[in-house]
Chain A
């Protein structure tokens, strides 16, 4: 279990976004001036970042006052973070070793994280799923999935 005081969460977000809006202002200052149309490329982003700046200041103020305090509780946070990491690795793997094998491995590991210890299922399900999904997308939807050195069909 992870406990954090939300005041710091909102405070952090508020401060980060405050500087982000200033950054947006700086970038947009180099955008071309309006010519025919009074709405220039920078007009709308600047309007939005001004509003966002106000919102971030209100957020900071409320956070310092301790309003809207919520606790961020992430159950099984190690598994959640592992899955996020796995998804990133999976996306990279898709490009190199193709859809079939990477999907099987990804599913096997996620099922393992979910404490699926019946290996009959945790091996069979990924294999079947990988082929079925590939079949649906390639034959039915005509979408070629990434292939790689281990692509089987």
Chain B
């Protein structure tokens, strides 16, 4: 079995070049780094914007593009965290704690090098874990029947509690909103048109792609509009790149530990790259001999979150590919991309399309090597990106978002969907209604409904079937546990990400003299 896997992986590497995936991967990484390093533009937005381009190339090339943006975007966030003291993506929130003090002491080049090496190694460890662990999980998942899928999707929905920010009830609201949106169109069991109001466009339901582009590109661009007149903060300059071998050996244990923390955190649905980064930082600080030095500009403080968040990128792909459960926003968008490409995520993907999946694995492994080379050679160029005129980019995003949503079906209706969800998403996040749960609801809703139909057909209408199967019983226990623990945690206000965000905002405010 092991031999077969290695063989498939080698074929995947070969296919990486044959299918043109290497090229789309490189494009994705560059695009990701550019978007990720610009504050306000995120990897998720980049994935949504480039989704329309994926179905003109082979599925593996399309997926490589999306994964490249994800990895590049999370890495790119560190550039602005170090040089501008503003995390380019939330995942780089912990990086600035030590990255910026380093830059202030004229060590920006060193901080960037550490970030690059840590991201690449973290990503590599994550990618290798993904490659060897995912097929095993998929094998177990092949045993799942409709009842297990119902519960798996419900388990995915309970993750809303973790991605919902401050208010649990608002998270549930967003999730139910997404679930209800997904009921529009022909119902999956009886084929009866629901909530279509006689519109032919609504018969197939609200398409996922325009919703994604609206929620993650238009609403973000509207948010950037608010700050169009904000002056760029002064940027730290890069004196000298590179670190010594001694320094590398010094941070290596931190990198390895953080990579595994990140990968593991990523593999649990409902967590995200920002949580992975923070937990890695916290653990590095806790186990350090001089924890008090953290925050003053130590290189381990840059290495830990960067290794953690890129490890998480690959860890997060594990449940997405094997079970079809997105862990957070970016993987949810990639999952949407899989569906747009006509691939059904889940264990069958491994059975039916091993070539695609192993090319994708090859691509995740390669992406880190590309990132390492680009990050070291291109550091000065990427630093220049930060002074790109943000307003011109925002303007282009509006146009790209609209044309992109039109391009899927050459349908103006999809543009309206994009605009409506863009405006809705913008106002929802203003009122602190989280956006990722909407997506979870839209993706997992149909999975719950159609499998519930199948389950009850098997059991002739009896719900007892859920309690008679060992795996489904196991899921019920997990679901109950997750719900109870999330409610209890919210009450105590324990949320590491919120704390770190508040911390970094305080830092920024004190700098700006607010």
Contacts and interface: CB of A to CB of B under 8 A. Distances in A.
A47 B407 CA distance: 35
Given A48-B183, A83-B222, A111-B395, A31 B432 contact: no
B402 interface: yes
Given A27-B195, A84-B222, A45 B180 contact: yes
Given A38-B456, A41-B190, A79 B228 contact: yes
B183 A45 contact: yes
B332 to A, nearest CB: 19
A95 B403 contact: no
Interface of B: 52-53, 56, 166-167, 169-170, 172-173, 176-177, 179-180, 183, 187, 189-190, 192, 194-195, 218, 222, 225-229, 391-392, 394-396, 398-400, 402-403, 406-407, 410, 412, 415-416, 419, 422-423, 426, 430-432, 445, 448-449, 452-453, 456-457, 461
Nearest to A51: B176
Given A13-B173, A24-B180, A68-B169, 9 more contacts: A9-B431, A36-B457, A37-B190, A39-B189, A52-B176, A74-B226, A111-B391, A113-B228, A146-B412
Contact of B180 (A32, A49, A88, A110): A49
B456 A41 contact: no
A74 B430 contact: yes
Contacts of A48: 176, 179-180, 183, 445
A143 B410 contact: yes
6 contacts: A27-B195, A36-B457, A41-B190, A41-B192, A83-B225, A129-B396
Given A13-B431, A48-B179, A99-B403, A111 B392 contact: yes
B402 A44 contact: no
Given A37-B190, A37-B453, A143-B407, A91 B416 contact: yes
A39 B449 CA distance: 8
A88 B419 contact: yes
Given A37-B189, A40-B190, A141-B52, A55 B169 contact: yes
A41 B194 contact: yes
Interface residues of A, number: 66
Chain B interface mostly: helix
Contacts of A140: 56
Contacts of A95: 412
Given A76-B229, A111-B392, A115-B228, A41 B423 contact: no
A72 B195 contact: no
A133 B169 contact: no
In the complex, which of the residues B56, B176, B228, B395 has the most CB atoms of chain A within 10 Å of its own CB atom? B395
Contacts of B426: 80
B406 A68 contact: no
Given A31-B194, A84-B423, A106-B399, A141 B226 contact: no
B359 to A, nearest CB: 22
Given A49-B180, A72-B430, A111-B395, A145 B403 contact: yes
B226 A75 contact: yes
B142 to A, nearest CB: 25
Contacts of B449: 39, 44
A137 B407 CA distance: 8
A44 B176 CA distance: 12
Nearest to B407: A143
Contacts of A40: 190
Nearest to A31: B192
Given A44-B449, A114-B228, A115-B229, A68 B170 contact: yes
A75 B453 CA distance: 48
Contacts of B422: 87
B38 to A, nearest CB: 15
B108 to A, nearest CB: 29
Given A10-B431, A45-B180, A142-B56, A76 B415 contact: no
Interface string A62-98: 1000001010101111011001100110110011000
A30 to B, nearest CB: 11
A76 B461 CA distance: 56
A99 B448 CA distance: 40
A59 B391 contact: no
A87 B187 CA distance: 32
Contacts of B183: 44-45, 48
Interface string A115-153: 110000000010001000100010011111110000000
A128 B230 CA distance: 26
A82 B487 CA distance: 41
Given A27-B195, A32-B192, A103 B399 contact: yes
B228 A41 contact: no
Given A37-B453, A48-B179, A72 B431 contact: yes
Nearest to A91: B415
Contacts of B169: 55, 58-59, 62, 68
Nearest to B174: A55
Top 10 nearest A-B pairs by Cβ distance? A41-B192, A114-B391, A75-B226, A38-B461, A143-B407, A39-B453, A41-B187, A52-B176, A44-B449, A110-B395
Contacts of B170: 59, 68
Contact of A37 (B56, B419, B432, B457): B457
A34 to B, nearest CB: 8
B187 A68 contact: no
A60 to B, nearest CB: 11
A77 B226 CA distance: 7
A38 to B, nearest CB: 4
